[in-house]
Structure 1
């Protein structure tokens, strides 16, 4: 519910799918803006999430861009067209329309906590460049994103290099971990068609299913969205964790001992909660994260991974512990993540 007299901000992002990682970043942006004195709307973030965050609930952008004082584009790989399950698909149309609406009405537009590039379509590259021209500042979560923007002519003076704002989950969101002492397993990869070409994929998938079933009492099968994990059909006695609302999902995710996943934001959020993570990943952006945290050896492209890679990773997941070096890296990266919120006011 809007508070009379307060400034208004709209967060524009990839929230219509209700993917955990995207929603998490949207929530952190919303809480930051509230601290800056804004009444916040995050269209399509969901009614339960909006109630928990104290934001205005809406499923459309109708009238919001026109009435807003600030338009914030943020979350996910929305300055790219290669981040989803279907490379070439993009949220850039939504982003571009919001940026243009802000430009036409004289509103401040900023972009932050995004992955930028690479681009498959020339049109996507042009849209990303156009949004960059309109935005007053652009906060990117890794060096590769900065390099991609530079390659299409975006001025480096406009771009702030930091780290993903999902690392700040505990800074902005009020939840307490529910320790389970279990290992989280996430391997929902059927929709990622390009990884299906790996001749070892079925061997890896069968090994993951077997592990989930034989270790059912010690694992939690995690899903990035509301659907049941695909592993649940093969390990029916295992505990499951699906994402519907941040308030319910975050405490259980934060209570894991370690995590094996193919997806980026499950890894980032777990790491922010001091949980060791390992990934046979479906998108290159995940590799960028493991490079950032100083553990490139914990991430392998699922398009080229071998059965032995999974066996090695799951053994390492069982034995992994949080170290002083991990803690120092986390503190450094959280500082970099804060730099992507410093100009959002």
Structure 2
């Protein structure tokens, strides 16, 4: 059995998908997957051992820290994040495997910054005891080096989700998504995904500017608004959906995430997506949907720099005025030019290096 660890204590699309993709890689080798500390929604979507916690780790031959940004703190509430790193047991799998002299690797994580010294020390120790450390971008590599990671097997690959293509998604999910959206060539289907509640104490005015800007673009354009929640039972996202719905002139489509493959399929059918979350943007890009980023987390900017689409990106905390012109230009632009397609292909190649390294590790090479 191979244990997979990730940011899987809550019900969030991107984290589910990162574990789900790497679980498929393991299962393709006819190996059983263990999810030691995963919540039930992961077990419902990923075939895995019934063993949990330390029992799962003890029964596993090897361990993979899967992709995700859980080695880096958000823009605010940094102290709470540092404490939660331990509450979410991110340190436990590596510690268990080191104690039992068993091998583990890290595949496709994002890292840094980390201001909490205890958390930083734990991350460095996890990385230095791993067989391989694969990070998804150059900034992550530089942060880990700066913090003291000496692992000679550390290298830059890519975000695991960038390995996706439509062929990876069940045909049933694609068919259901196309039936929901029922594309009309006269309409531009625009996904609108706001992961922060209107009136949020930290982003209050910024979120209002975002919503006003989107509503302004929708006023005089043949665009079908599609409101998205990528996390189950998320009060902030439901508040954002309710507020946008009240202020829209036409009834929007509303999509709430339940299954990671269904959500991938849904995003692939849209013409464009405006999102505050990293992996809604990455998944959309990987599957051929234009993406406009409004970041509530500092890790997000790295992706838009990687794809050379900084003009389609804003830090949420810096949106102090109308951005409708930028959104309108995003909708109208020839997004998939030659350079973007080449970047997309190269990022997919680097993302698939994670798979090659995982297979090599599991085969004992």
Q: TM-score range by the shorter chain?
A: 0.7 to 0.9
- Partner of residue 260, structure 1: 274
1:53-202 alignment, distance < 5 Å: 53-56=46-49, 60-80=52-72, 82-83=73-74, 86-88=77-79, 89-90=81-82, 92-93=85-86, 94-155=89-150, 157-170=152-165, 173-176=168-171, 177=174, 178-179=177-178, 180=181, 181=183, 182-190=189-197, 195-196=202-203, 200-202=206-208
**Size of the alignment, in residue pairs?**
334
Once residues 128 and 296 of structure 1 are traced to their aligned partners in structure 2, the CA distance between those partners, rounded to angstroms, is 29
Once residues 191 and 123 of structure 1 are traced to their aligned partners in structure 2, the CA distance between those partners, rounded to angstroms, is 34
Q: Any gaps of 5 or more consecutive residues in structure 2?
A: 184-188
**Residues 251/43 of structure 1: CA separation in 2 closer, same or farther (3 Å cut):** farther
Aligned mate of 2:345, from 310, 331, 334: 331
Q: In structure 1, the residue corresponding to 2:134 is in which secondary structure?
A: strand
| Contact 2:198–2:240 (CA under 8 A) maintained in structure 1 | no
* Matching of residue 224 in structure 1 with residue 237 in structure 2: no
Q: Any gaps of 5 or more consecutive residues in structure 1?
A: 1-7
Q: CA RMSD in A?
A: 2.7
Question: TM-score, normalising length from structure 2?
Answer: 0.82
> CA offset at residue 106 of structure 1?
2.0
> CA offset at residue 325 of structure 1?
2.2
Question: TM-score, normalising length from structure 1?
Answer: 0.87
Q: Which stretches of structure 1, 4 residues or longer, exceed 6 Å deviation after superposition?
A: 191-194, 212-217
> CA offset at residue 245 of structure 1?
1.3
Once residues 74 and 193 of structure 1 are traced to their aligned partners in structure 2, the CA distance between those partners, rounded to angstroms, is 31
Q: In structure 2, the residue corresponding to 1:303 is in which secondary structure?
A: helix
Once residues 61 and 187 of structure 1 are traced to their aligned partners in structure 2, the CA distance between those partners, rounded to angstroms, is 34
